[in-house]
Amino acid sequence: MKIKKHKQKSRLIVYQGDELLVFQKISNRLEYGLIGGFLKKGETPEKGLIRETYEETGVQLSEQDMDYYDSLTLDWDENQKLSKHYFVCKNADKSFSLSEPDKFAKITWIYWKDALKYFGKSDRKMVKSLFKPCKINY
């Protein structure tokens, strides 16, 4: 039995009301992504997200600027697992801008439901769970 490598990512969900801040990826088809990326060796999810947010948007967050939301782990391929850690930004009034034009076409605010079909599966699941809490049937 092979031991699986375990990679980790952190993601930041930034929203105001029912609008979500997304990156539009450079692609032949419309794709959106959230702020964040892979953690470096020894980084906590929070520290990695602070670094990624600064690299991608120029905004210097602190751990007090975000709340932990949820994590999920999935099999990435035969020999690797991937964990994604999601955080919610407490203050969406920060000056987020596009700092990596080689990776993304633009950064923009969009109605959360309109963004869903252009996210990857796990990002879609987390955004949906944030905006659509469980329904109680009577």
Under CATH, what is the fold of the domain 5-131? Nucleoside Triphosphate Pyrophosphohydrolase (3.90.79)
Residue 102 confidence (pLDDT): 94
How high is the mean pLDDT of the chain? 92
Q: List pLDDT tens digits, range 22-72.
A: 999 999 999 999 999 999 999 999 999 999 999 999 999 999 999 999 999
Residue 26 confidence (pLDDT): 95
Q: List pLDDT tens digits, range 89-113.
A: 998 999 999 999 999 999 999 999 9
CA nearest neighbour of 8 among 58, 57, 48: 48
pTM of the model: 0.90
